Amino acid sequence: MAFYAYNRREDDDLAKAETELMFSIGKTYDLYHYLMLLVIEIADIATDRMEQALHKNMPSPEDLNPNRRFIDNQIVAQLRTNTSFTKYISRSKLSWTNYSHIPRLLYTNMSSWDPYRQYMKSEDINYLSDRKFIITLITDFLSNSEDLLNCLEEQSIYWNDDMEYVVVMVEKTLKKFKADAGENAELMPLFKNEEDEEFVKVLFRKAVLNTKEYSELINHNTTNWEVERIALMDILVMQLAVTEVLEFAEIPVKVTLNEYIEIAKFYCTSKSSTFVNGILDNIVREIREKGLFKKIGRGLVGEKNEE
């Protein structure tokens, strides 16, 4: 999306665009933590409701002997004390305080959600079942809440398209949680390492600086189309793919193509992935014939077969 934003700019300020790129990545990482914080907030609402029920003038037997399964969920407890998580929340000052109606609304809706009811009734009480429920809560319930999605969109324009990706990030994180890891259970880093961060910057910069050259490559390989008639997002996805093929010698071509076809499915039209796939195949064939790239190491995977 940062590449799209740059192409809509009028000042061609690459340095500013790179700053915005890194800021947008940081906002995605904020959402990753914010979503896990929301689970804790919902559990806090459940605790408050339970305490209110205990102080009724005439509490029912159910009020006096509440089902604590959800509020005692071991994954929720682990997140509360997770060292990396609590440090990030404190440093970034992420909070649901100004949007407290969302966890309340979600708790109310969750209470009548079948998977929640089944979880609360289940006699299978252990770490694995607690983890499975929290993952389901995030992937099936929170990700489909229009109230939540609208709230996130209101808070940040950078979160408009991030939810699906961040849900996958959280799911992968929680699947790796272990009971004996305690407060040291690992969260995903913003970048795997310095090379990963550098990759993002170089990919963006090279795609921008070589826009004219890569547009010509695309134009050569769209026999029945004029570039002006192709959707901008389709063109940008292909430009990024060509950049990765040409500039990153250790990434196999097949890996690049598969990655950007998936990106086209998400960011472009319903027919874009097939279209992009066909054009990229033609482009890769041309640059192979012209010897425009040299793959090394892992990047050679698949090259001998192609030749």
Write out the chain in H/E/C secondary structure: CHHHHHHHCCCCCHHHHHHHHHHHHHHHHHHHHHHHHHHHHHHHHHHHHHHHHHCCCCCCHHHHCCCCCCCCCHHHHHHHHCHHHHHHHHHHCCCCHHHCHHHHHHHHHHHCCHHHHHHHHCCCCCHHHHHHHHHHHHHHHHHHCHHHHHHHHHHCHHHCCCHHHHHHHHHHHHHCCCHHHHHHCCCCCCCCCHHHHHHHHHHHHHHHHCHHHHHHHHHHCCCCCCHHHCCHHHHHHHHHHHHHHHHCCCCCHHHHHHHHHHHHHHHCCCCHHHHHHHHHHHHHHHHHHCCCCCCCHHHHCCHHHHC
For 271, list phi and psi in degrees, rounded to 5.
Answer: -95, -5
Quick check: 172 pLDDT over 90? Answer: yes
For 57-66, write each residue's pLDDT tens digit: 787 777 677 7
Q: Given this model, what pLDDT does residue 304 score?
A: 62
Q: Given this model, what pLDDT does residue 30 score?
A: 97
Residue located via tokens 């010698």: 249
Q: Given this model, what pLDDT does residue 307 score?
A: 45
Nearest CA-CA partner of 307 in 297, 240, 216, 293? 293
Quick check: 280 pLDDT over 60? Answer: yes
Enter the tokens of residue 213: 């050259």
**Polymer length in residues for the chain:** 307
The residue with greater pLDDT, 221 or 29, is 29
Mean pLDDT of all residues in 205-221: 86
CA dihedral 281, 287, 293, 294 (to 10 degrees): 80
Enter the tokens of residue 20: 């915005």
The residue with greater pLDDT, 1 or 163, is 163
CB burial of 8-29 (b: ≥16 within 10 Å; e: otherwise) equals eeeeeeeeebbebbeebbebbb
Return the CATH number of the domain spanning residue range 194-306.
1.10.940.10
Segment 88-94 long-range contacts (CB within 8 Å, at least 24 positions apart): 88/33, 88/187, 89/33, 89/37, 92/30, 92/33, 94/30, 94/33, 94/34, 94/37
Count of CB atoms within 10 A of residue 58's CB?
5
Q: Given this model, what pLDDT does residue 26 score?
A: 93
Q: Given this model, what pLDDT does residue 234 score?
A: 84
Q: What is the mean pLDDT of the chain?
A: 88
Quick check: 287 pLDDT over 80? Answer: yes
CA distance 222 to 215: 11
For 121-140, write each residue's pLDDT tens digit: 998 899 999 999 999 999 99
Question: pTM surpassing 0.85?
Answer: no
For 43-54, write each residue's pLDDT tens digit: 999 999 988 877
Mean pLDDT of all residues in 231-256: 89
Q: Given this model, what pLDDT does residue 273 score?
A: 79
Mean pLDDT of all residues in 23-28: 92
Residue located via tokens 């319903």: 270
CA distance 135 to 171: 6
For 71-124, write each residue's pLDDT tens digit: 999 999 999 999 999 999 999 999 999 999 999 999 999 999 999 999 999 988
Q: Given this model, what pLDDT does residue 306 score?
A: 47
Residues of the chain with CATH 1.10.940.10: 194-306
